[in-house]
Structure 1
Amino acid sequence: MEAELRKLLARKISELWTEISGESAPGIPHLVGEISGGNEIRVDVDVVLFEDYHLERFIDDGTLFFILPADEKSPRALFISLWRFLQGKGTPKLLLPGARLEGPLRNTLEKLGFDVLWMTGDSVVDVWATKGHVRYEMRFQRAGDNEFTLVERKRVQ
């Protein structure tokens, strides 16, 4: 049953990848779906664009509903992120104001999937970066030698 579910989810992501990775539409693509069991597993997944990140997982009347940002760089990475999220083994790290990052800032942002375009400052660091097809302006406050707190994040169109 688990193998069948994994196969169905992988197939859905593959079918939706062109829509997920498309640059033309403004917004952040999210996988929005539901999974129901019984005699036969039913998986329904669509791509919806939101202004900001949304993350949701809940069960109602035996059906698992979910919303997950789809800003991974490959279908395989997105499948792994979705599978871990559905199993409750982790949630994608969403970079929201108040988030604290450790390590060299550029490297840490790159590990989170951001492409850093420009960075300047010392006690206050301004960053321009992209993730998927979304551009961001971010401002970090230095909290220690290699510690930073996100103060502000704005999407840029």
Structure 2
Amino acid sequence: MAEADLKRRLAQEIIELWAEITGEGEGIPHLVGEISANPGLNVELEVAFFDDYRIERFLDDGALFFVFPADEGSPRALFFFLWRFLQGKGVPKLLIPGAKIEGPLSESLKKLGFEVLWMTGDSVVEVWATKGRIRYEMVFQRTGENEFTLVEKKRVQ
């Protein structure tokens, strides 16, 4: 029952913060949270904006503290990835500068949840894409036959 209650509370908090997450903040939105069970279940969640992606999870005095990128297209997707992260079932694959992508670029971006709006170039590829309601300008460097390295990623307001 406690797990179901925790899931419900996290989902509710994400929905309540969704407008702030998708708003006009400077930088990349992140969920900063604390979950404790003494006394009773306590869930605190806030939105913070950082220049780079940050992922942290640690226990201190019986409370779980975390920082998680809120870079998903819907509250449902964000909840799903956050829940997996909190359970220790992996870290989401983040598209950050230096990340390598293999395969056709547009298909690989689609698998990561992006919708490609425009793409041009061969050795240096410029991409305009969206993820949910968030727009991005990205620059990739071709590093192989079907391999690309992200050089720059900017959130467009």
Same fold (TM over 0.5): yes
Q: Which residue of 2 aligns with 1:5?
A: 6
Deviations 1:58-77 (Å, cap 9, x if unpaired)?
Answer: 11111111111112121111
Mapped partners of 2:55, 2:7: distance in 1: 20
Q: Which residue of 1 aligns with 2:53?
A: 53
Pairing 1:3-152 to 2, within 5 Å after superposition: 3-22=4-23, 24-152=24-152
Mapped partners of 2:76, 2:137: distance in 1: 28
Give the match's secondary structure for 2:151: strand
Matched residues, number: 156
Mapped partners of 2:90, 2:73: distance in 1: 18
Aligned-residue RMSD, C-alpha: 2.0
Deviations 1:87-145 (Å, cap 9, x if unpaired)?
Answer: 11121221122211112101211222223232111222222333355543322222333
Letter in 1 for 2:22: S
Contact 1:30 1:70 in 2 (8 A): yes
Mapped partners of 2:41, 2:112: distance in 1: 33
Letter in 2 for 1:110: K
Mapped partners of 1:144, 1:25: distance in 2: 36
Over 3 Å counting, the alpha-carbon distance change for 1:26 and 1:119 in structure 2 is same
Mapped partners of 1:104, 1:39: distance in 2: 51
Deviations 1:6-62 (Å, cap 9, x if unpaired)?
Answer: 11111111222222233x333322111000123511110011222332211111111
Mapped partners of 1:132, 1:19: distance in 2: 14
Mapped partners of 2:36, 2:109: distance in 1: 36
Deviates more, 1:138-147 or 1:38-47: 138-147
- Give the TM-score normalised by structure 2: 0.86
Give the match's secondary structure for 2:95: coil
Q: Identity percentage over the alignment?
A: 68
Letter in 1 for 2:5: E
Over 3 Å counting, the alpha-carbon distance change for 1:132 and 1:54 in structure 2 is farther
User: What stretches of structure 2 of length at least 5 have no aligned partner?
Assistant: none
Mapped partners of 1:88, 1:59: distance in 2: 13
